[in-house]
Chains A and B, each alone.
Chain A
Amino acid sequence: MSFFKRYNPGVEWSDEGEVTLPIGSEPPLFEVYPSLCVSCLGEVGIDGYCVQCGQKAKSLRDHYEQSPTSWMAGVCDIGLIHVRNEDALALQGDEKRGVMVVCDGVTTSDNSDVASMAAARAAREVLWTTNPKGTGTPSSRAAVIEATLVRAVEAANQAVVGHTDPDSMSPAASTIAFAVIDAKMIACANLGDSRVYWLPDDGEPICASRDHSLAQDGIDAGAKRAEAEASSFAHTITKWLGRDAVDLDPYTNLIAIETPGWLIVCSDGLWNYVSEAVDFAQLVQTCLAEDSTPAGLATRLVNWANEQGGHDNITAACARIEVPDQLELPAEADPEAETEREIQSDNADSLVETDSFETTTPNE
């Protein structure tokens, strides 16, 4: 029956009504529900509610956690008010290098939950498989990294458009914010109002991203942050991914890692309650006092946002960055790891691009 698609778009069900995920796989793009109700063992209807007791079945998208490596973890949660989790989280990492991507689908657009997840994974794919080898000159290396960030945003945008119904009157839209941690360098970018915070152990905490929002426009025009962010239009974003995107030029930022610290990528479901970098750092310290692992921090940040009301979907991706052992000169120090990474990539385009990077860094 076609009308159910509104509630549960695109899900394929077997004749038995079973939906299962392969072990170790990531959450699906679509809402997928278990087949039996956890409360009464009744059957879960295709609309996501038990046909006996009416309890809402938890979608596999409602809450998920990722920790690809010991120093990085993220939690994505539906919050307490929204009926669907339109935030998306995509992480990848090994001992030396990491990628964290957070997207926040716009609630008023169609299928933004599907689009945001597709966008996050597309950006991660580009950022992870494109590894500008060699050092080059600092300026040439920076140019290469910037180009990669832009390309990741473009790939994310194509993913959103690719998951948009051509007939949609309200095409899917999403924010994006991501960070790549590699070789003493944090490279981050964003479009919309998802954020990156860099909280060095020794130094001033900063918001490393820059919102594309009416609130930020107000701040630029001289308004106080607290006032601008409290206005009713504050969350109107001025740049986004999607078929009706007006400007895909991201804000980018390259930060040299000089001291250990925490890097957090998050959606506005978290920072709404703690916008200023100083306050954010304070909250992180409070959470770390209870659990100093990345997974513990991410969980506590999300729980804290839910305690504040959980008015929006909440995503927090956390990376603990140590220097110098962890990040020093990976390319030269461990060439084997590099080779391995290239083999992992099955994206022909990105391999070509990787090659072309080497031609742009002739001074090796």
Chain B
Amino acid sequence: MAVFTSLVYQNEFLADGNTDVNAIVRIECSEAGTAGQTGVGDVGEIIIVDTSASMSLVNMQAAKDAAMVAVDTIVDGTFFGVIAGNHRPYLAFPRVTSGPGLVRMDPNNRQLAKRAIAAFRADGGTAIGSWLLLARALFRSIPSLAGKHVILLTDGENHNESVPQLDNAIRQCLGEFQADCRGIGVQWQVAEIRKIAQALLGTVDAIPSPRELPGVFQELIARSMARGVPDAQLRMWVPQGAQTVFVRQVSPTVEDLTHRGSGVDALTTSYPTGAWGDESRDYHICVRLPARALGTEQLAARVQLATGTAILTQGLVKAKWSADPSLTAQISPEVAHYTGQTELASAIQEGLAARAQGDAVTATQKLGRAVQLAAETGNAEATARLGRVVEVTDAATGTVRLKKNIDKADEMALDTASTKTTRIRG
């Protein structure tokens, strides 16, 4: 049985007239167990491989190898299926056209699935929305599933669907399953794939070399199999008259949850967090309260992790108005750190977007700010990635020059990793 604990980092003291309460709530899960074996329902795993004509021989072979490794890694008993995607989705395994669209993993099905994967060949276009909708239909054909996870690999733009078509498909899949998305090569659009991954509570990353693909797939499946808690929600209670300014996951990656809540009751909102393994995640919340008299103490938020109606842990975020500036002037180091990391993520994304549109002034300014924030918050990985895209004159002031010739892969690596955060030092 999974154990959840929570810790709140905040400065609860507010100066007279101040109304905004910031806090970092760290939620940690241990003893999560193996997916599908914790008595709360079966789990389903679908592997989607891009088999469009743009897939080179090398990439296609790597994709096949990776899909086979993934099939090897899926725990026996898990419901699974393999989709080959081009301008249409094709259910490569199991070869069924009606009834249950997924089968339980066992040695025989593993061999059959691998044989189906070996027959993949590159042909046709790309319609990612249609792949997602097939995955949704397959998961829906197995009523006992509590956890549903997809790995999606693509190498190109979504040529055969309009933006509204893809958005519509994503909307239909919201809350239906989680999707970890990976791009190979430099022809795919980071923003497009990130949109899918963020909506479906998954991760996005660029695979720099086809050689790495099997290892990446193995790790993704292994992580998914270690998520013994198939679905949990972050619940937040705020007092009557208060306003939730934002709710963000800030570690391990920045994900804005603010507009993804659904009401539990008049004062409580539930935000999706997907499946949990043994891990810890940090959430940054900001609540605006009606101003109260000096000396008043009140609760600004109850932050809980819940599965269904069961509340597994609760953190209390408080507010206390004080006239003592030595108390109210301090900013919690955790809040300051993640505020910087969140700004870093948007500075990178906005800087790269401006650069792509030829707006060198905005790009230089945003990426300069990113360099400064990465240095200030000790995010060495972001500093290294930024250094491949800009010449850093002075990190402390954020003075940079855009590099003329950038390796496209470096730019994409910077973009996909922009939401990854570091934890506070010390």
User: Which positions in A face B, CB cutoff 8 Å?
Assistant: 1, 3-4, 7, 40, 42, 45, 47, 49-56, 80-81, 83, 309
Contact = CB atoms under 8 A, between A and B. Distances in A.
Shortest Cβ-Cβ A-B pairs, 5 listed = A54-B239, A54-B299, A49-B299, A56-B297, A54-B298
A47 B240 contact: no
Interface stretch (B44-52, B308-316, B331-339, B378-386): B308-316
B123 interface: no
Given A3-B314, A47-B316, A80-B295, A53 B240 contact: yes
- Residue among A4, A51, A54, A80 with the most chain B CB within 10 A? A54
A176 B299 CA distance: 33
Given A1-B311, A3-B313, A47-B316, A52 B297 contact: no
Interface in B184-242: 237-242
- Residue among A1, A4, A51 with the most chain B CB within 10 A? A51
A5 to B, nearest CB: 12
Contact of B240 (A1, A4, A45, A52): A52
Given A3-B314, A309-B324, A52 B298 contact: no
28 contacts: A3-B312, A3-B313, A3-B314, A47-B299, A47-B302, A49-B298, A49-B299, A49-B302, A49-B316, A50-B298, A50-B299, A51-B237, A52-B240, A53-B239, A53-B241, A54-B238, A54-B239, A54-B240, A54-B298, A54-B299, A55-B299, A56-B297, A56-B298, A56-B299, A80-B295, A80-B322, A83-B297, A309-B324
A55 B313 contact: no
Contacts of A81: 327
- Residue among B239, B241, B300 with the most chain A CB within 10 A? B239
A1 B302 CA distance: 15
Please tell me the size bucket of the interface on B: 20 to 34
Contacts of A51: 237, 267
A55 B240 contact: no
Interface string B250-285: 000000000000000001000000000000000000
Contacts of B327: 81
A16 to B, nearest CB: 21
Given A49-B302, A55-B296, 5 more contacts: A42-B240, A53-B241, A54-B300, A55-B299, A81-B327
B308 to A, nearest CB: 14
A233 B296 CA distance: 31
Nearest to A78: B297
A1 B324 CA distance: 37
B6 to A, nearest CB: 8
Nearest to A40: B240
- Residue among B238, B241, B296, B297 with the most chain A CB within 10 A? B297
Contacts of A80: 295, 322
A56 B299 CA distance: 7
Contacts of B295: 80
A54 B242 contact: yes
A50 B313 CA distance: 19
B90 to A, nearest CB: 48
Nearest to B302: A47
A73 to B, nearest CB: 25
Contact of A7 (B242, B300, B316): B316
Nearest to A80: B295
Contact of B239 (A3, A4, A52): A52
A9 B237 CA distance: 22
Nearest to B313: A3
Contacts of B242: 54
Contacts of B322: 80
B225 to A, nearest CB: 28
A322 to B, nearest CB: 38
A4 to B, nearest CB: 8
Interface in B312-329: 312-314, 316, 318, 322, 324, 327
Contacts of A56: 297-299
Contacts of B318: 83
Nearest to B238: A54
Nearest to A49: B299
Contacts of B239: 50, 52-54
Nearest to B301: A54
Contacts of B300: 54
- Residue among A7, A40, A53, A309 with the most chain B CB within 10 A? A53
Contacts of B289: 54
A40 B314 CA distance: 23
Contacts of A7: 316
A55 B298 contact: yes
Nearest to A47: B316
A194 B313 CA distance: 37
Contacts of A54: 238-240, 242, 289, 298-300
B183 to A, nearest CB: 41
Contacts of B237: 51
Nearest to A58: B297
